[in-house]
Chains A and B, each alone.
Chain A
């Protein structure tokens, strides 16, 4: 290892290498605090050549490596198993080019998501995918996880906005895939790499599609007696042919937490659920759409539907949604943000079962979710120092996933598999399905050195034949 450290220091300089235990501790986990593993070093390259050289140095010393952005991921994807080296791209944070006429931006992977929209706003453009962590998460991380956000209902997830990528392959070679025009020749390798959870290489440059800001946006807040009627409203809105920019539900347990916190938005704590609807588009169309949504929500059982009168009120409506995770911090030291997707019309039934599972396991479980996409986020507040509670959290999580899969759903809508759900992938996919994924992996990373131990369920897969000393410091997970 000391040989590798010297080689890495040579590449990135002393200020670009972290190897002291107290520095490494920060990198022990990502947003999923239940899973932890210490890297042997963290490298902070400044450009693509340093990334490539760092990868080659790791290869030469037989040490695996893990790309990392801001570490806000929620599935353990950015932790270094097998005492690997973390290659963090946060210093590669330049917006390289903005081409407003063609609605294209070229960025380095360390650019923070929200910074891009800010930089292009003066051209009447924005970058559509807006994960909840957008003030902190990086675009490179978004590419790895194929991140979503509340506005994916209308605008799509990251994969629909990435035109081209430059990446360092696991053998240290630099390669470009895709085309700024959006019509590359050959296989859709951009489509394969986006959502690859950093197992197919390290992205060093991203060409993104920008969207035109809608002429106008309207935000509505519906107060419902229960989650079921809020879900019914969502179904009715979608079936009416409207495509809202966002359809978000916050349940009663979450409202209570939010209202008791600094994020308090003045929501009635006796409401069973609130539904946040955002409509955007040409001003001429919006008036009628707002009325339509209001009518449908009232018909579904809303006791009140308010339309934001100005930007301040719009921000207040969103605060209940966006502050939800922060508000949970008051409830317990740890928060497990779950992520699964079901067909939208199954939402009422699934939510009932999810709450029942939480109650049965004596857990503090609440729901905030992208209802328009059928994307659930059951949040479990807990204390990981309480071994029994931790066990119940994991058991309940697995039960929730099984229920969602049985309903025709999948086990992750936007957080990825990482270490968190790798044992559960066979709930969704057969051995042959997973084998096909491994074929893709083998084309990019035949030796399994790039972010090993992620996504795939067991050591049988993808040549990850060395289960020893995985560094699973906190939780035994299979």
Chain B
């Protein structure tokens, strides 16, 4: 008998047995206690329908079993730990083929849909998905719950027209709708997007798609976040057909760097073919930009992934360079989206329990954020580096109000307990 089994909790086991009975063994897998994100999980639930999801939540509520909710798992390491959950609730099986209304430019998509397959489904419709969060396995539900942003497009909130959500009470609700303009009642969808699954579990969404651009082109210019280039980089990133602009240290760009410059601005132009050509020419003329492979942008953002501690500073665009200076001095390797005011710094760690390395990096990030009147958060870190630290960077001034919202939607703390800002 393993130690884990010896400590097995009777009420937890009973609750899981009830879930398995109600939902069937194909949707409920009991297992040996397993530690995920500091939570001691004894079962994995994979509801395959909204009804099953609601039933699972109802039973979890009755049995007082909190759940760690996850989609594709891409953003698991960017929330507070430890989590007090006892079961894992995966939304990956909440799937149906996307209902694409190409004429209207909208689609209803299941939370479990992988964004990669959704993009495939949209190929040839003349439309594109206005979401590009990091993570190849990202699902729609996870991407919306984590409000994960990529270099392209606005924030995920702007792509969502309506949501189907299962509340902690087991009620299934719908917010918003399928039309592109709507002020019918409160805009509740905003509340769930970016709430890290702490207010409800997203079942599906109506998304507003965008027309696919007529032309795209990627180019790189030797510009960086430093005194010499700040204004130039921002101006370049704001040209009308720029869809994505990422500033990156050359060492992160590795072999993709076309020359000797220490920093590069990678720009993706998209839209009207004439406007794209004109902007490419202007970038070449004004900033010495060179034509680059389309994949450079993807490589840039993947270069920051994996293993180390990554912090994010969000600030007004003109304040980013000050933050960049401090982070670079502390040894961070930088990636920034200058026009959007986002900056990431990657700090190598000497193993997952490198307390000193973590403290040093977070001190630098906190100082950088303060200097830029912005906010810092941990974007990714091994579990020990997050334990006991506020991943989201200090309590919001509206924490009491946020607690009141949490109490209203999840009074028993069933959904991702302890994962969000201020332990919400």
Please indicate the chain B residues that have their CB under 8 angstroms from the CB of A429 in the complex: 174, 184-185
Q: How far is the CB of B88 from chain A (nearest CB, A)?
A: 23
B151-173 interface bits toward A, Cβ cutoff 8 Å, 1 = contact, 0 = none: 00011011000000101000111
A42 to chain B, nearest CB (A): 26
Q: Is A136 an interface residue (CB 8 A)?
A: no
* Residue from B104, B279, B316, B393 within 8 A of A345 (CB atoms): B104
Name A201-259 residues within 8 Å CB distance of B.
212, 214-215, 235, 238-239, 241-243
Separation of A177 and B147 alpha carbons in the complex (Å): 17
Contact A284 to B183, CB < 8 A, known contacts A175-B398, A344-B104, A442-B408:
no
CA distance A198 to B275 in the complex (A): 42
A387: Cβ under 8 A from any B Cβ: no
Tell me the bound Cα distance from A190 to B158 in angstroms.
13
- Chain A residue at smallest Cβ distance from B407: A443
**CB < 8 Å neighbour of B341 from A148, A181, A214:** A181
Give the distance to chain B from A249, nearest Cβ to Cβ, in Å: 15
The answer for the CA separation of A148 and B180 in the assembled complex, in Å, is: 11
Query: Does A99 sit at the interface, judged by CB under 8 A?
Result: yes
Give the residues from 101 to 116 in chain B that come closer than 8 angstroms, CB to CB, to chain A.
Answer: 101-106
Which A residues are closer than 8 A to B by beta carbons? 99, 101-102, 104, 145-146, 148, 152, 156-157, 159-160, 169, 175-177, 179-192, 194-196, 212, 214-215, 235, 238-239, 241-243, 281-282, 284-285, 288-289, 341-345, 370, 373-375, 408-417, 421, 425, 428-430, 432-437, 439-444, 455
Interface code B364-396, partner A: CB below 8 Å = 1, 0 otherwise?
000000000111010000000000000011101
Would you call A281 and B157 a contact (CB within 8 A)?
Answer: no
Instruction: Provide the residues of chain A in CB contact with B408, threshold 8 Å.
Output: 439-440, 442-443
B285 contacts the other chain (Cβ, under 8 Å)? no
List 11 other contacts, CB 8 Å, given A241-B214, A284-B272, A429-B174. A101-B318, A157-B183, A183-B314, A190-B190, A191-B193, A235-B103, A343-B106, A374-B180, A436-B171, A442-B408, A455-B185
| Interchain CB contact under 8 A, A148 and B187 | no
Question: Cβ of B402 < 8 Å from any Cβ of A?
Answer: yes
Closest to A287 in B: B274
A199 to chain B: closest residue by CB: B186
Residue of B nearest to A174 (CB): B397
Proximity bits, B311-331, A CB within 8 Å = 1, else 0:
000111111000000000000
- Of A192, A215, A289, A432, the residue contacting B187 (CB under 8 A) is A192
A and B contact pairs by CB, cutoff 8 A, 18 listed: A101-B234, A101-B318, A102-B319, A160-B158, A182-B155, A183-B341, A185-B394, A186-B392, A195-B187, A341-B180, A345-B104, A374-B179, A374-B181, A409-B177, A412-B183, A430-B173, A432-B171, A436-B173
A409 surroundings in chain B (CB, below 8 A): 177, 179
Q: Does B211 contact A (CB under 8 A)?
A: yes
Q: In the complex, which of the residues B147, B173, B199, B214 contacts A433, with contact meaning CB atoms closer than 8 Å?
A: B173
A343 contacts B375, CB within 8 Å?
Answer: no
With A101-B318, A239-B103, A436-B173 as known contacts, state yes or no: A184 contacts B186, CB within 8 Å. no
User: Is the pair B402, A186 in contact by a Cβ cutoff of 8 Å?
Assistant: yes
Residues of B within 8 A of A (CB): 101-106, 126, 147, 149, 154-155, 157-158, 165, 167, 171-175, 177-191, 193-195, 199, 211-212, 214, 234, 238, 240-241, 271-272, 274-275, 278-279, 314-319, 340-342, 373-375, 377, 392-394, 396-402, 404-405, 407-409, 420-422, 424
Contact partner of B191 (CB less than 8 A), chosen from A169, A188, A239, A411, is: A188
B residues within 8 A CB of A341?
177, 179-182
Q: Give A345's nearest chain B residue, CB to CB.
A: B103
Query: How far in angstroms is the closest Cβ of chain B from A95?
Result: 18
State whether B401 touches A284 (Cβ < 8 A).
no
| Residue in A closest to B177 when the chains form the complex, CB atoms | A410
- With A160-B154, A194-B187 given, is the CB distance from A184 to B396 under 8 Å? yes
Knowing A183-B314, A185-B393 are in contact, say whether A434-B211 is a contact too (CB < 8 A). no
Q: What residues of chain A lie closer than 8 Å to B317, measured between beta carbons?
A: 101-102
| Chain B residues positioned under 8 Å from A185 (CB to CB) | 375, 377, 392-394, 396, 421
- How far apart sit A430 and B181, CA to CA, in the bound complex (Å)? 20
Q: Is the CB of B271 within 8 A of A413?
A: no
Contact A195 B186 (CB under 8 A): yes
- Contact A182:B157 (CB < 8 A) given known A281-B240, A284-B278, A440-B408: no
A159 and B160 alpha carbons, distance in the complex (Å): 12
In Å, the complex CA distance between A194 and B158 comes to: 14
A437 and B103 form a contact (CB under 8 A): no
B316 A99 Cβ-Cβ under 8 A: yes
Q: Please determine whether A181 and B375 come into contact, CB atoms closer than 8 angstroms.
A: yes
Rounded to whole Å, the gap between the CB of A297 and the closest CB of chain B is 18
B193: chain A residues at CB < 8 Å are 188, 191
Residues on B with C-beta less than 8 A from A416 are 183
Which chain A positions have C-beta within 8 A of B275?
281-282, 284-285
- Do the beta carbons of B174 and A430 come within 8 Å of each other? yes
